[in-house]
Structure 1
Amino acid sequence: MTEQNSTYSSRHKPRSEFASRAEYLEHELKIMNPKRWRLNLPFRDYRFEAEDLVPATAATIGKIVMVAAIVAAFAAPLGLSNDFVVENVRFEMLIAAVLFVILVSGFINPTSNLAGTHGPLIPLIPLIVASGGHPMALGIMIGVLGFLLGILKGGSLLARLTSNGVCGGLLLYLGFIGIMAQIKKLFAWAEGFDMAYLAFVIILCTILMYAYLEHIKMRWLAIPLGSGMAAVIAFAFGAPFEFSTEPGIPNLSPSYWWGEDTGWQLGWPELHHFIAVAPFAVLAVAMWSPDFLGHRVFQQLNYPPKAQKVLMNIDDTMCTAATRQVVGSALGGGNIASSWGTYIIPASIAKRPIPAGAVLTGVLCIVAALWGYPMDLAIWPPVLSVALMVGVFLPLLEAGMQMTREGKTTESAGIVIFSSALVNPVFGWSLTVLLDNLGLIGCKERGRQLGHVGRWIIPGIVFVILCSVMAAIGMFPGIPALLESFRTLH
C-alpha cells in the first residue's frame, strides 16, 4: 500500500517519536485523509488532542454571544423580552450542536467548517424588520440562495478570482475594526460603573500576555488564558457580575416559536414577507464569499504545505451553512448562518483539523444551553471582548500582514481597505476584485492569465448585482434607499 493511499490509523505515530509537540501536530495534519459526505470516525480517521479544547471553548463563547446579538437585534424592534432572547439562543445552540456541528463537521464531512453566525448582518436587522421582514422568510431565502451558490461551486470560483492583495487587505480591515469595536465596548462597560481604568488594565495585560505567548510559540492558548485572566482581574477589582440563567430545556416545538401569540408572535410567513427580505438575503449570501475565503486562507497560512486535504472546502461549507439555516429557521431559531470564524481561526492557530474540535464544540454548546450558567459568564464583557480580540481579530491582522508582504499586493490591499471604509467589506471586496483582475491595480500579469470571464465578466456581474442590492436598501452613504424612494412615489 502506498503512503498516499494508506489510512490515517496506519500512518499515525505517537507523540514520543517527535522532537516537539508542533512537529507531532503538523504530522497529524499531513496524514489525515478525510472522506467527504461519508462516515469519519474518531481514532480511525482522526484523534482528539488537548489543543482541540481551545477552538471548542472559543467557538462556544462566540456562539452564545453572536446568536444572542442576532436574536436581540430581531427582538428589540418586535417588542420581545430578554427572556425570549435567552430561550431562543439556547434552542439555537441545541439545533447547531446536535444536527450540524457534531453530525456534519464531526462525522460526515470534516472538511466542512462549522455553521456559525453571520455577524456582519447584525446592523441591518432593524432595517429588515422595518421593511416587513420575517425571520423565518429571511432564513429560508438565505438558505436556498446559499445552497445554490455552494452546489454550483460559486464560492470556490469567487475565491480563485480574489488575489492575495485583496484578501489580505480585507483581513486587515476586518481585524482592525473588530479590535477597535471591542476596545470601545470594554471601556463603555467599565465606564458604566465608574471604573474606566479597569478596561485599560485588562487590555494592557492582554497585550503583554499575547506578546509572551507569541514569544514562546504558544499563541493557541490565548483565548482560554486571556478570557480567564480578564475574568480574574475584573473579579479582583470588584466588577459587577451575577449568574442569572438557570438550568433548563428550551421549548422545542416549531408551532410554539411560530405561533400567533407565542414565541416570535409573528405566525408563519406569507409571500409578501419573502419579497420584503429578498434584497437582504442576496446581500447576506454575497457576504459569505469573502468571509469563507478569509477562513480558508487563515488555515493555509498556519497549516504545513502538505496538509491540503484537511483544508476547509468552501462550497461544502456553504451547503452545510445553507442547510443549517433552513432547518434552524423552520424549527423556530433566529440565527443567521455563516462560516464559524470563532472556531476555525483558533483551530488553525492550534494546528488542529476541523472534526475533533467540532465534536467537543457540540458537546460544550449542549452543556452551556442546558446548564444555563456558562452563558452568563461567556457574555460578560471582559471575557467576551478579550476572547474576540485575541482569538479572532488580532490573528486576522497578522494574517492580513502576511498576505501583503510580497509583490504589488499593497496596492490592492490599500484600495480594499479604503472602499470597505466607504461603504462596507462587501462593496470593498467586489470593487477591488474587479479593479485588480482588470489589471488597473496589483499584479498586471495575473489579470492577463484569467481570461475574459475571470478578468471582468464575472467580477463585473457580481459588482453590479451587489451594488444594485445595496442601493435598493440604502447602504450607500448619503444616498436614499431606492426601495423607499419607490414606495414614496407610489
Structure 2
Amino acid sequence: MSNTQLPPLDANPQQPIPSDNDVQGSYIELHKPYSSFKNRDAYLNRELQIMQPKRWRPNLPFRDYRFEYEDTIPAMAATIGKVVMVGAIAATFAGPLGLGDAFVLENVRYELLIVSFFIILFSGFLLPTANLAGTHGPLIPLIPIVVAAGGHPMAFGLLIGAFGLLLAISKGGSLLANLTSKGVCGGLLIYLGFIGTTSQVKNLFAWAEGIGMSHIAFFIILATILLYALLEHWQKRWLAVPLSCFLGGGLAFALGAPFAFKTAPGLPHMNPMYWWGENTGWMLGLPTVESFIVVLPFAILAVAMWSPDFLGHQVFQKISYPKRTERVLMDIDDTMTSASFRQVVGSVLGGANFASSWGTYIVPAAIAKRPIPAGALLTALFCIIAGVWGYPMDLAIWQPVMCVALIVGVFIPLLEAGMEMTREGKTTQSAAIVVFASALVNPAFGWSLTLLLDNLGLIGSKERSANLTKMSRWIIPVITFVILTGVMAIVGMLPGIPALLPNFRH
C-alpha cells in the first residue's frame, strides 16, 4: 500500500486534492479538528484522504488514525452479526453431533475472545486495510453436508486457512476481483441484498408466528422502513443499525413479546485440549488423514467463494468513500491473509467459526465514511464485553433486534450499492445473468459463470472484452468456472444432479 502523503488543506471541502507528486506531511501533521470544517461530512472525507496506512508495520491510534463516534456504529453492528453468525455455524454443527445449547453458547463466547485478538493484531495494528476476519455466512447451508460426510471441523478449518493463504500469497483474490466488471459485481450485490432481506423478513415473521403474535413482525418492519427513509432524508443513514435495533427490540417488548436475559457473566473453557477431547468439547478427538480428505472439496469451495464476497465489500467502500481515498480501501489479499491466519489458529484452539470478510462491519463502516482500524479496535472491545458479560449475547440474538440489524446494516445497503453500480454503461445484461445463475445454484456459481460470459464479450460491454488480454478474457475465467463447478458437482450442490462421489450424497 502506498505511503504517499498529502499536504495540509483548508476547511473548504471543495478544494482539489493535489497530485501524488506534490503531497507531503504525516497524518498527525495533516489532521485538523472538526471545528475547522463547515460540516461533519467534510471532516470525515478529509480524514479518509489524509490517512497513510502502513502494511506489516505498527499503525497506532492518534498517530496514524483517530477514533470518532461514528466508529461505534459499525462496531456495534459487527458484534451483533458475530454473535448471530458464529451461533448459527456452531448450532448447525452441534445438532447432528448431538451437542446441546450449552456447547453452542460456550463456543460462541470462546470465538468472541479469539477473534478479538486477531482484530487487534491485524486490522488495528499490522494490516489496517485488511477487513476484519468475520464469519463465512454463505457456507452455513453446506455444513450439514459436511457433517453427513463425516467432516471434522478442525480439518475443515485448517484446509480453509491453508487454501486461503495460497490464494493471498499468489494475489489470486485481487486478480479475480479486477477481472469482475461493474455489471457482474452489481448483479451479485443485488442478489445478495435481496435474498438476505427477504430471508430476514421471513425469519422475523416465523418468530412472531411462533409466539402467536404475527402482527408484531408487520409493525416492526413497517416502523423500520419509515425510520430508514427518515435517516436517508436527514443524511444520517449511518445511525440505522443502533436506532433500528432499539426500535425493533423496544417495539416488540412494548407489544408484549417475551424476552429475558439468561446468559450470566463468565468465561469459556480456554484449553484447546478440552475442545478436541474424546469426551469433551466437540467429542471428536483430533482429525485423521481421512478427515482432511473428506472435507477437501468443501474447503476449496469455501475459499473460492471468498472472492465475490470480498469484492462486494470493497466495492461498497468505493461507492461510499470520496475521491482519492485508495490508500484506505479494503485490500482483498491482505484480508485473505488475516482471515486465513485467524482461521488456522481458531480451528486449532477449538473454535466453530469459519472465516470470511466481516460484512456486518465493513458495510456500516463504509456508510459512516470511516476507515477500518479505529472501528476494528472498538469491535474487539465490544466482542470481549459481550463474551465475558454474557447478557448482551441474549439481546443480540433476539429476533426483533437481530433481523432489523442485518436488514438495515447489511442487506439494504448491498441492494443500494448493486443498483448504483448498474446505472451506467452496458451493465444490466451482466447483472441480470448473475442474478439468474445465482438463483439456479448459488452466488459462487453465478459469479464464476457470468464472469466468463462477460469477459468473453457475449454479454455486457464488448469494448471492455476486446481490451482484455487472452489470459484475462477466457483462460482465468474458464479455469475458475471449471474448478468451482467441478467441486460443486463432486459435493452434490448442482440442483437435480447427484453428487459425483457417493460419500458426499446426503
Instruction: Quote the offset at 1:107 in angstroms.
Output: 1.2
Q: What amino acid does structure 1 have at the position aligned with 2:89? A: I
Instruction: Quote the offset at 1:487 in angstroms.
Output: 8.8
Q: From 387, 402, 416, give the equivalent of 2:405.
A: 387
Q: Secondary structure at the match of 1:365?
A: helix
Alignment check: 8 A CA contact 2:491 2:504 kept? no
Question: Does residue 361 of structure 1 match 2:379?
Answer: yes
Identity over aligned pairs, percent: 67
Question: Does residue 445 of structure 1 match 2:463?
Answer: yes
Match of 1:213 in 2: 231
Alignment check: 8 A CA contact 2:133 2:335 kept? yes
Question: Does residue 281 of structure 1 match 2:294?
Answer: no
Q: Name the CA distance, whole Å, in 1 between partners of 2:415 and 2:140.
A: 22
Q: Name the CA distance, whole Å, in 2 between partners of 1:163 and 1:97.
A: 34
Q: 1:485 to 1:360 in 2, by over 3 A?
A: closer
Q: What amino acid does structure 2 have at the position aligned with 1:32? A: M
Question: Does residue 71 of structure 1 match 2:90?
Answer: yes
Q: What amino acid does structure 2 have at the position aligned with 1:402? A: E
**RMSD, matched Cα:** 1.1
Q: What amino acid does structure 1 have at the position aligned with 2:65? A: Y
Q: From 89, 104, 109, give the equivalent of 2:108.
A: 89
Question: Does residue 456 of structure 1 match 2:474?
Answer: yes
Match of 2:15 in 1: none
Question: Does residue 180 of structure 1 match 2:198?
Answer: yes
- Aligned pairs for 1:123-202 (under 5 A) are 123-202=141-220
Q: From 36, 39, 44, give the equivalent of 1:20.
A: 39
Q: From 367, 371, 375, give the equivalent of 1:349.
A: 367
Q: Name the CA distance, whole Å, in 2 between partners of 1:470 and 1:265.
A: 29
Instruction: Quote the offset at 1:2 in angstroms.
Output: 6.7
Q: What amino acid does structure 1 have at the position aligned with 2:75? A: A
Residues 11-52 of structure 1 deviation map (CA, whole Å, 9 limit, x = unaligned) = 000111111101000000000001011101111000000000
Q: Name the CA distance, whole Å, in 1 between partners of 2:366 and 2:476.
A: 31
Q: Name the CA distance, whole Å, in 2 between partners of 1:397 and 1:365.
A: 28
Q: 1:127 to 1:485 in 2, by over 3 A?
A: closer
TM-score (norm 1): 0.98
Instruction: Quote the offset at 1:450 in angstroms.
Output: 1.2
Match of 1:56 in 2: 75
Q: Name the CA distance, whole Å, in 1 between partners of 2:128 and 2:58.
A: 9
Match of 1:203 in 2: 221
Q: 1:230 to 1:142 in 2, by over 3 A?
A: same
Q: 1:452 to 1:51 in 2, by over 3 A?
A: same
Q: Name the CA distance, whole Å, in 1 between partners of 2:471 and 2:388.
A: 51
Q: From 298, 304, 311, give the equivalent of 1:293.
A: 311
Q: Secondary structure at the match of 2:95?
A: helix
Q: Name the CA distance, whole Å, in 2 between partners of 1:373 and 1:486.
A: 39
Q: From 477, 481, 489, give the equivalent of 2:499.
A: 481
Q: Name the CA distance, whole Å, in 2 between partners of 1:85 and 1:16.
A: 48
Residues 211-235 of structure 1 deviation map (CA, whole Å, 9 limit, x = unaligned) = 0000010000000000001011011
Q: Name the CA distance, whole Å, in 2 between partners of 1:424 and 1:349.
A: 27
TM-score (norm 2): 0.95
Q: Name the CA distance, whole Å, in 2 between partners of 1:443 and 1:193.
A: 51
Instruction: Quote the offset at 1:5 in angstroms.
Output: 3.5
Q: Name the CA distance, whole Å, in 2 between partners of 1:303 and 1:11.
A: 19
Residues 63-106 of structure 1 deviation map (CA, whole Å, 9 limit, x = unaligned) = 000000011110000000100000001001100002x1112101
Q: Name the CA distance, whole Å, in 2 between partners of 1:194 and 1:361.
A: 35
Q: Secondary structure at the match of 1:482?
A: coil
Question: Does residue 234 of structure 1 match 2:234?
Answer: no
Match of 1:374 in 2: 392
- Aligned pairs for 1:388-427 (under 5 A) are 388-427=406-445
Residues 352-382 of structure 1 deviation map (CA, whole Å, 9 limit, x = unaligned) = 0000000000000000000000000000000
Structure 1 unaligned spans of 5+: none
Q: Secondary structure at the match of 2:150?
A: coil
Instruction: Quote the offset at 1:305 in angstroms.
Output: 1.1
Alignment check: 8 A CA contact 2:149 2:503 kept? no
Question: Does residue 120 of structure 1 match 2:138?
Answer: yes
Q: Name the CA distance, whole Å, in 1 between partners of 2:360 and 2:121.
A: 19
Q: 1:170 to 1:486 in 2, by over 3 A?
A: closer
Match of 1:263 in 2: 281
Q: Name the CA distance, whole Å, in 2 between partners of 1:5 and 1:64.
A: 43
Instruction: Quote the offset at 1:387 in angstroms.
Output: 0.1
Question: Does residue 311 of structure 1 match 2:310?
Answer: no
Instruction: Quote the offset at 1:485 in angstroms.
Output: 7.8
Q: 1:232 to 1:429 in 2, by over 3 A?
A: same
Match of 2:243 in 1: 225
Q: Secondary structure at the match of 1:37?
A: coil
Q: Name the CA distance, whole Å, in 2 between partners of 1:144 and 1:487.
A: 26
Instruction: Quote the offset at 1:194 in angstroms.
Output: 1.3
Q: Name the CA distance, whole Å, in 1 between partners of 2:317 and 2:383.
A: 23
Q: Name the CA distance, whole Å, in 1 between partners of 2:463 and 2:121.
A: 44
Q: Name the CA distance, whole Å, in 2 between partners of 1:221 and 1:486.
A: 45
Q: Name the CA distance, whole Å, in 2 between partners of 1:230 and 1:332.
A: 34
Alignment check: 8 A CA contact 2:31 2:50 kept? yes
Q: What amino acid does structure 2 have at the position aligned with 1:227? A: C
Residues 283-328 of structure 1 deviation map (CA, whole Å, 9 limit, x = unaligned) = 0000000000000000000001111100000000001000100000
Structure 2 unaligned spans of 5+: 8-22
Q: 1:282 to 1:30 in 2, by over 3 A?
A: same
